[in-house]
């Protein structure tokens, strides 16, 4: 295997010109293949971040390389002034493989959620005649960084200094049906105001917290009874990550609208908002995106979808996920004073550190980098494992070895 030659890349020069919105780990990645990436010094890492749950097929997958190269040589962007065959084919695949009927394409998770928020508001105004619609979201949720999706995000730390926020949002604790029912009852008196409930099937950024099945069944029933739209944010858990194609299938509860983005085109920017026919109330001119659904991104996504089926990746996600969780549970048994809990579905898993020790997720991630493994925190105390869906049994074992060595640094 070829390793990249060392470059003259300098982080201090980078930091002088790139706005400091990110706290970055001090490595520069320059090449990837499968579940492995290389930095500019030629060091290699096992990639259990996958561009934050995005590189579904890993790096340089031959099918994706072929599609993107061919599409780039043929036609990559034309705008939605015209019909785009690849966009139609991708929409057809998504509709055939989900509970949804119609798709709107954009370029990111935040934009997909923004579209869902607009659709829910228009439905509330035009179908239910609600003057001032409210969307309920969960505490510790994450829905994006645009002003509306930041407001939807139930985490004050992301909202600080960006007020005034967007009106029309209210928050409840996650997985607590009593609290949700009480809020809906109070907001809907004297007349209905609740337009939608927006939830992640599993909270990703909020600490890898799986949704409770009974809770989601109760929420579905409440929404159906009251005519409230149920929206699922599948930006992180959609496209097979939980072992089902959609997180809602893992829960056994269907939404009216759902969004997807991260893994959809395997790392080429794309987002999608998918709705059932009864609430797909957008008309020409209501919403738009210049780049949305362009030939390059939709051809790439279609290849990701077809490869998921062809390589039977959902089965791999379930098997490798079980293997990973079993190994992490063994690690927890070895370090019970450091590790409080291991949880997740398929290939989105979290390892929560004990609340009463000073050790942080970022420190564990740094130690893992030193052992040749890339991981990503999900909040201050949870280490997240989101490898490409093509990960092999041998690579899971290698990653477990590296995490185990990393934890070895924290015991005297």
Q: Which residues are at the interface with ligand PLP (CB under 6 A)?
A: 108-110, 113, 142-144, 200, 204-205, 233, 235-236, 261-262
Query: Is 233 labeled as catalytic in the residue annotation?
Result: yes
CB 128 within 8 A of CB 281: no
b/e burial code for range 112-127 (CB count within 10 A of at least 16 → b): bbbbbbbbbbbbbeee
With contact defined as beta carbons under 8 Å apart, do 237 and 211 qualify? no
Q: Which residue's CB atom is positioned nearest to ligand PLP?
A: 109
**3-state secondary structure string, 372-389?**
CEECEECCCCEEEECCCC
Closest to ligand PLP by CB, 64 vs 112, is 112
When the beta carbons of 106 and 324 are compared against ligand PLP, the nearer one is 106
Q: Where are the alpha helices (DSSP H) in 295-345?
A: 295-310, 313-334
Query: Is 225 part of the annotated catalytic residue set?
Result: no
Q: Considering the complex, state which of residue 219 and residue 367 has its C-beta at the smaller distance from ligand PLP.
A: 219
Q: Which residues are CB-contacts of 398 (< 8 A; sequence separation ≥ 6)?
A: 46, 373
Cβ closer to ligand PLP: 275 or 339? 275
Catalytic pick among 39, 47, 233, 256: 233
Q: Shortest Cβ distance from residue 243 to ligand PLP (Å)?
A: 17
The residues facing 274 across adjacent strands are 103, 258
Closest CB 116 distance from ligand PLP, rounded Å: 11
Task: Provide the 8-state DSSP code for 4.
Answer: P
Q: Which of 262, 381, 385, 407 is catalytic?
A: 262
d(CA 95, CA 101): 5
At its nearest, how many Å lie between ligand PLP and the CB of residue 92?
A: 24
Judged by beta carbon, residue 237 or residue 313, the one nearer ligand PLP is 237
Residue 262: CB minimum distance to ligand PLP, A:
6
Single out the catalytic residue among 48, 105, 142, 169. Answer: 142
Q: In the bound complex, what is the minimum distance in angstroms from residue 234's beta carbon to ligand PLP?
A: 8
310 a catalytic residue: no
Residues with catalytic roles: 142, 233, 262
């Amino acid at each position: 295997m070829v390793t990249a030659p060392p470059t003259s890349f300098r982080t201090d020069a980078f930091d002088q010109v790139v706005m400091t919105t990110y706290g970055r780990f001090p490595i520069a990645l320059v090449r990837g293949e499968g579940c492995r990436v290389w930095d500019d010094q030629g060091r290699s890492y096992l990639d259990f971040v996958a561009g934050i749950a995005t590189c579904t097929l890993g790096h340089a997958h031959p099918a994706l390389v072929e599609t993107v190269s061919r599409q780039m040589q043929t036609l990559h962007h034309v705008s939605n002034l015209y019909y785009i065959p690849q966009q139609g084919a991708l929409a057809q695949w998504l509709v055939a493989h989900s509970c949804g009927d119609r798709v709107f394409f954009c370029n990111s998770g935040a934009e997909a959620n923004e579209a869902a928020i607009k659709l829910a508001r228009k439905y509330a105004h035009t179908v239910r005649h609600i003057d001032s619609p409210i969307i309920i979201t969960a505490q510790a949720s994450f829905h994006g960084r645009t002003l509306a999706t930041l407001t939807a995000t139930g985490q004050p730390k992301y909202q600080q200094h960006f007020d005034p926020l967007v009106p029309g949002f209210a928050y409840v604790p996650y997985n607590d049906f009593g609290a949700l029912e009480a809020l809906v009852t109070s907001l809907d008196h004297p007349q209905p105001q609740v337009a939608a409930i927006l939830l992640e099937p599993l909270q990703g950024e909020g600490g890898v917290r799986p949704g409770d099945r009974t809770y989601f069944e109760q929420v579905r029933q409440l929404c159906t009874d009251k005519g409230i739209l149920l929206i699922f944010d599948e930006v992180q858990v959609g496209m097979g990550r939980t072992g089902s194609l959609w997180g809602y299938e893992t829960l056994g509860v269907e939404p009216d609208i759902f969004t997807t983005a991260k893994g959809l085109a395997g790392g080429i920017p794309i987002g999608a908002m998918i709705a059932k026919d009864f609430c797909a109330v957008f008309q020409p001119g209501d919403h738009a995106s210049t780049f949305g659904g362009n030939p390059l991104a939709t051809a790439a996504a279609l290849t990701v979808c077809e490869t998921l089926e062809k390589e039977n990746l959902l089965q791999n996600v379930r098997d490798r996920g079980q293997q990973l969780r079993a190994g992490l549970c063994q690690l927890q048994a070895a370090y019970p004073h450091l590790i409080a809990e291991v949880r997740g579905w398929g290939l989105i898993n979290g390892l929560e550190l004990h609340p009463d020790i000073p050790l942080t997720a970022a420190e564990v991630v740094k130690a893992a980098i030193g052992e040749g493994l890339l991981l990503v925190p999900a909040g201050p105390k949870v280490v997240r494992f989101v490898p490409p869906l093509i990960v092999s049994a041998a690579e899971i074992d290698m990653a477990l070895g590296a995490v185990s060595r990393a934890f070895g640094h924290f015991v005297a």
